[in-house]
């Protein structure tokens, strides 16, 4: 396989925070490499990226708003095929001599598309009656000279237009959303029939390419990696190890705030199955001392974060000749920290890696092989590299770990109690999620739990066990449905599963006499309790 990200590149100009992400993902779903750039990239900068095709995203603004995102119209003269959606469609019209009008009634949601002229873009889709997804107020009311209107809906006279000769195409609707019935066909028409691209962005190809890139860069030098057991650092470790073998050393800092079984699982997978050089730093006591008496959540976070890098660099300095530090930065980390222009202007954005507190006089060059991958692609890579499902599909777990799930002071007794309760929660809800996965074929289906754990609040309550009254601890069950942690709803877990969790926690965890379920969405609550 000769996949190369540089050979074929579909560049998405993003006209509104995050709109481009979905488009890039759809393109990648069709096995073509795609990346996102801010809409104000100049034609020269864009040309330097050698795009095979350009897509203009939608965006939340009106093209008439004072601070409306703009674009360099010379991009249309690069000779590269361009496809615009919604705001991008309106941009194409205004930049090339067409016109956009304010309309009284916006059009939001499903609409029925009718073809009114031959169209390369809409080929292989029904002439009449296909559902498309609309979300706009303004609309193009005059297309640029030389363009043909190819489709309309009841409320939108110009729902798609194109100029096949110049290979410029636009739709008012959103082909990238699943509700647009033939969205995939439309995108495929553009990528494969119009632009003549090849679907070569496959996991095997990607691994091969990344491995040779890493090998070439690292040569005979050594690489170090801070392994947390989370998806991103685990996949980075597996990938870098595939490339340079034992030149990679993973450092696993065990701060003691990890869930039951986690350190063992990291050992088993990386040391035993992958046979990687792994330094397991037992910093549990060191952390326990630092956290003693600390109740403020932000202080807990600060201590854990600061100490983590201290411990890590102490270990790093013990290894000779390390030149590189590999990190599991992924594409959303970069996009969300403000888009970084690839190849264009110097980055004005601080991505989180700039925050690594290198000690005085210490420096490693960074290797971030996942920095162009979305989370689901990172998971697919992990699977292709042989990581177990339990690691690849692991739920998110915060860096400060259980420290922010023990409200108030962290003591050994409370940590032990929380770990035991959390294990029960995970066993039951892992099994519940697995049943849903078997039924639906989806990992994150409608009712599955996206993140789930136990919290130990700083309260006691009265209970009765056997003949005795107790004054015991309460465990809070937190389980949410979400896709990105930005918003979340409490999971609608069946009563029998809830009942089993409750009776197991009270029965199996000494000192606990009550279990409550947190039924607050985010917002107003956060997912974590601290
Ligand atoms: P909240 O509680 O803000 O959490 O709704 C959103 C997501 O972020 C995780 N989280 C953290 N992750 N360090 C992390 O690495 C932290 O300090 C931290 N606080 C919250 C949380 O688990 C959820 O997935």
* Assigned CATH for 411-518: 3.30.300.10
Kindly report, residue by residue over 396-425, the tens digit of the pLDDT. Answer: 999 999 999 999 999 999 999 999 999 999
| Ligand 1 binding pocket, CB closer than 6 Å | 301, 396, 398-400, 451, 485, 522, 526-528
pTM for the structure as a whole: 0.86
Q: What is the mean pLDDT of the chain?
A: 93
According to DSSP, residue 386 is labeled T
Question: Which pLDDT value is given to residue 466?
Answer: 86
- Percent pLDDT > 90 in the chain is 85
Report CA torsion sign: 18, 19, 22, 25.
Answer: negative
Three-state DSSP state, 345: coil
Annotated active-site positions, please?
Answer: 86, 174, 176
Asked whether residue 234 is marked as a ligand-binding residue, the answer is: yes
Question: Which pLDDT value is given to residue 528?
Answer: 98
Structural domain boundaries in the chain: 10-194, 203-392, 411-518
Euclidean distance between CA atoms 104 and 138, whole angstroms = 9
Given this chain, do its domains 10-194 and 203-392 carry the same CATH topology? Answer: yes
Euclidean distance between CA atoms 158 and 170, whole angstroms = 10
45, 54, 113: which is closest to 342 by C-alpha?
A: 45
Question: Which pLDDT value is given to residue 16?
Answer: 86
The CATH class of the 203-392 domain is: alpha beta
Q: What is the mean pLDDT of residues 182-198?
A: 98
Q: Evaluate if residue 348 carries a pLDDT over 60.
A: no
Least confident piece of the model among 37-51, 152-166, 343-357: 343-357
Q: What is the mean pLDDT of residues 106-127?
A: 95
CA of 528 to the centre of ligand 1 (A): 6
Q: What is the mean pLDDT of residues 90-95?
A: 97
Asked whether residue 129 is marked as a ligand-binding residue, the answer is: no
Question: Which pLDDT value is given to residue 17?
Answer: 62
Residue owning the nearest CA to atom 22 of ligand 1: 398
Q: Which residue has the higher pLDDT, 358 or 124?
A: 124
The CATH class of the 10-194 domain is: alpha beta
Question: Which pLDDT value is given to residue 338?
Answer: 57
Q: What is the mean pLDDT of residues 4-24?
A: 83
Residue owning the nearest CA to atom 16 of ligand 1: 398
Question: Which pLDDT value is given to residue 107?
Answer: 85
Q: What is the mean pLDDT of residues 3-32?
A: 85
Assess contact for 350 and 332: CB atoms under 8 A: no
Q: Evaluate if residue 500 carries a pLDDT over 50.
A: yes
Joined tokens for residue 349: 């954005």
């Amino acid at each position: 396989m000769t996949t190369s990200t540089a050979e074929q590149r579909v560049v998405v100009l993003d006209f509104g925070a995050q709109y481009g992400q979905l488009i890039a993902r759809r393109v990648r779903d069709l096995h073509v490499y795609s990346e996102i750039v801010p809409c104000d990239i100049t034609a020269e900068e864009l040309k330097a990226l050698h795009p095979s095709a350009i897509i203009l995203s939608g965006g939340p603004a009106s093209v008439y708003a004072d601070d409306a995102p703009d674009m360099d119209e010379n991009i249309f003269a690069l000779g590269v095929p361009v496809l615009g959606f919604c705001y991008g469609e309106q941009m194409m019209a205004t930049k090339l001599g067409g016109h956009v009008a304010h309309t009284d009634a916006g059009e939001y949601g499903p609409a029925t598309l009718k073809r009114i002229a031959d169209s390369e873009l809409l080929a292989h889709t029904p002439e009449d009656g296909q559902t498309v997804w609309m979300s706009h107020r303004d609309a193009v009311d005059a297309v640029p000279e030389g363009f043909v209107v190819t489709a309309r809906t009841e409320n939108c006279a110009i729902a798609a237009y194109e100029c096949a000769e110049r290979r410029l195409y636009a739709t008012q609707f959103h082909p990238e959303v699943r509700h647009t019935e033939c969205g995939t066909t439309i995108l495929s028409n553009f990528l494969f029939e119009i632009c003549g691209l090849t679907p070569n962005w496959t996991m095997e190809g990607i691994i091969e390419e990344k491995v040779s890139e890493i090998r070439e860069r690292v040569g005979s030098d050594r690489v170090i990696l801070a392994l947390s057991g989370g998806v991103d650092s685990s996949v980075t470790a597996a990938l870098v190890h595939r490339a340079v073998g034992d030149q990679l050393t993973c450092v696993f800092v065990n701060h003691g705030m990890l869930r039951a079984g986690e350190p063992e699982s990291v050992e088993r997978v990386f040391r035993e199955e992958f046979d990687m050089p792994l330094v397991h730093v037992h910093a549990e006591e060191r952390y326990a001392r630092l956290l003693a008496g600390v109740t403020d959540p932000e202080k807990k976070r600060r201590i854990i974060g600061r100490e983590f890098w201290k411990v890590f660099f102490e270990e790093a300095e013990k290894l000779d000749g390390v030149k590189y530090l590999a990190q599991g930065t992924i594409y959303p980390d970069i996009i969300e920290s403000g888009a970084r222009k690839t190849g264009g202007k110097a980055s004005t954005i601080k991505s989180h890696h700039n925050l690594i507190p290198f000690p005085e006089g210490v420096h490693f060059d960074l290797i971030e092989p996942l920095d162009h991958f979305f989370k689901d692609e990172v998971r697919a890579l992990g699977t292709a590299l042989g990581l177990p499902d339990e690691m690849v599909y692991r739920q998110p777990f915060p860096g400060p770990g259980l420290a922010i799930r023990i409200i108030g002071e962290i003591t050994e007794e409370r940590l032990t109690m929380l770990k035991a309760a959390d294990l029960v929660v995970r066993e039951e809800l892992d099994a519940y999620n697995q049943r849903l996965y078997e039924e639906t074929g989806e990992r994150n289906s409608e009712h599955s739990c996206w993140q789930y754990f136990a919290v130990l609040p700083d309260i006691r309550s009265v209970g009765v066990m056997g003949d005795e009254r107790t004054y015991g601890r309460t465990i809070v069950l937190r389980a949410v449905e979400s896709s990105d942690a930005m918003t979340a709803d409490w999971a609608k877990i069946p009563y029998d599963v809830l009942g089993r969790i409750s009776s197991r926690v009270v029965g199996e965890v000494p000192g606990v006499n009550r279990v409550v379920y947190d039924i607050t969405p985010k917002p107003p609550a956060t997912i974590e309790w601290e």
